[in-house]
């Protein structure tokens, strides 16, 4: 394992005179000078990847324990996905939805069958899928439920992360996501995550949907209290409100089941999907629902130039076929159990809490010892890439193609970083 040296990524950084234009410092300097600073990346410049591992421009290898926020569930460059994409690239990539194409129908059918729903509406990014779910929920409320015009209300949860469009950050309680972006879109009421009584109290005659994450990923892999999802399902049915599950990060085998809702045998009215649906190759997202919900969408009322394009559909179809075998769901269970066991052994040695569901973990670091960012910097120096959130929390989501030894390496490296901090 190569130990790496951190390189400054401060805005405006310039590489040393005469520096190799292909060096880490040169790449970071160009990016920080010419790309807006909407992210604060670790100072590593990745150039290639295979499976669970990536290599930077200096030749250092790292175990990728973020997996593109679960977009890379199947790893970097999965052979079947790359082959399918390459074949489609030679045939047809874009038609717009002004015409039919020969890839969308098979993909839509396969995804509908995977979700157990009648229909899907394909988009591109996860945020677009959330926006689509919001629009469909409102239109369903007006046309099917009979909510008074202009009054539709959607209940959301504290600590949520559904994207960063203006409408979506309107119901975020993250100050960084909302500062100086107002005025915000009305029509949302936020309640504590996992509090079924608060949800029930917030529902009134204008409520059309409850939008939630079965597990809050950005929040630090926060799992709701036992019984919350079944109770929410029963409440939504009783009050004639759409149950809308954002499974963009939690879905498609990440948690050891096809969907995180499966752990509670709960089926929402609307699935919101993205990230891994594109196999880490291409942005592919969608919502899935039954006909009585999606039939409110008529020609001209919603669309996307790239949504449902042949390349996206071909890749998405291959992803669904990979999931149909159950191999990746089982892999997430096995590796996740191994990861949880290893992480729990670190509680009291620098970790104060561990949350795991499948191959997805959030750990809270003793804030008097290290911040989450400092943990990630330490892991990077030892060849592990991860992402912090909310101060002293770190998330781990290795690709589902990782090996048992990869998981052991993650745990032992985290132990090393914590030990170094205690010296």
Q: Give yes or no for a cis peptide into 198 (omega within 30° of 0).
A: no
The CA angle 44-398-226, to the nearest 5 degrees, is: 130
User: Cβ(222)–Cβ(159) under 8 Å?
Assistant: yes
Round to whole Å and give the CA distance between 322 and 76. 15
Round to whole Å and give the CA distance between 101 and 97. 8
Provide the token pair at 19. 């520096």
- The catalytic residue among 56, 246, 264, 388 is 246
- The catalytic residue among 107, 161, 171, 259 is 161
Provide the token pair at 94. 């874009």
Round to whole Å and give the CA distance between 109 and 176. 39
* H or E element that contains 340: helix 327-344
Q: Which residue has the tokens 């926060």?
A: 222
- The catalytic residue among 259, 275, 306, 406 is 275
* CA proximity to 160, closest of 134, 121, 122, 197: 134
Give the single-character DSSP code of 282.
S
Round to whole Å and give the CA distance between 376 and 42. 8
Could you confirm whether 262 is annotated as catalytic? Answer: no
Round to whole Å and give the CA distance between 238 and 240. 6
* CA proximity to 60, closest of 74, 82, 43: 43
Could you confirm whether 161 is annotated as catalytic? Answer: yes
Round to whole Å and give the CA distance between 244 and 171. 15
Could you confirm whether 246 is annotated as catalytic? Answer: yes
The set of catalytic residues is 161, 246, 275
């Amino acid at each position: 394992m190569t130990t790496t040296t951190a390189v400054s990524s401060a805005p405006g950084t310039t590489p040393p005179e005469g520096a190799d234009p292909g060096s880490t410092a040169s790449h970071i300097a160009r990016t920080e000078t010419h790309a807006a600073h909407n992210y604060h990346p670790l100072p590593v410049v990745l150039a290639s990847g295979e499976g669970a591992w990536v290599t930077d421009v200096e030749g250092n290898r790292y175990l990728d324990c973020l997996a593109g926020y679960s977009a890379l569930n199947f790893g970097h460059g999965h052979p079947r996905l790359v082959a399918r994409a390459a074949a489609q690239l030679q045939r047809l990539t874009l038609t717009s939805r002004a015409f039919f194409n020969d890839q969308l129908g098979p993909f839509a059918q396969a995804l509908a069958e995977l979700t157990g729903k009648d229909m899907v509406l394909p988009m591109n990014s996860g945020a677009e899928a959330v926006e689509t779910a919001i629009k469909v929920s409102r239109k369903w409320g007006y046309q099917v439920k009979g909510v008074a015009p202009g009054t539709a209300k959607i209940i959301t949860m504290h600590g949520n992360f559904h994207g960063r469009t203006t409408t979506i950050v309107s119901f975020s309680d993250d100050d960084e996501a909302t500062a100086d972006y107002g005025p915000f879109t009305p029509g949302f009421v936020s309640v504590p995550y996992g509090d079924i009584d608060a949800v029930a109290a917030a529902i009134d005659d204008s409520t059309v949907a409850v939008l939630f994450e079965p597990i809050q990923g950005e929040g630090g892999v926060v799992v709701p209290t036992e019984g919350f999802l079944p109770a929410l399902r029963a409440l939504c049915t009783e009050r004639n409100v759409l149950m809308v599950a954002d499974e963009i990060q939690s879905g498609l085998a990440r948690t050891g089941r096809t969907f995180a809702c499966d752990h509670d045998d709960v089926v929402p009215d609307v699935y919101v999907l993205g990230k891994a649906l594109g196999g880490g190759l291409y942005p592919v997202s969608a919502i899935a629902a039954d006909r009585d919900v999606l039939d409110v969408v008529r020609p001209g009322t919603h669309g996307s130039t790239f949504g449902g394009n042949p390349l996206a559909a071909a890749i998405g179809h291959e992803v669904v076929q990979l999931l149909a075998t159950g191999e990746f769901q089982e892999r997430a269970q096995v590796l996740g159990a191994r990861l949880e066991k290893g992480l729990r052994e670190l509680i009291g040695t620098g970790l104060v809490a561990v949350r795991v569901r499948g191959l997805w973990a959030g750990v809270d670091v003793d804030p008097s010892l290290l911040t989450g960012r400092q943990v990630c910097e330490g892991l990077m120096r030892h060849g592990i890439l991860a992402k912090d959130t909310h101060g002293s929390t770190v998330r781990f989501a290795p690709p589902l193609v990782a090996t048992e030894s990869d998981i052991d390496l993650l745990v032992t490296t985290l132990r090393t970083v914590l030990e170094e901090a205690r010296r």
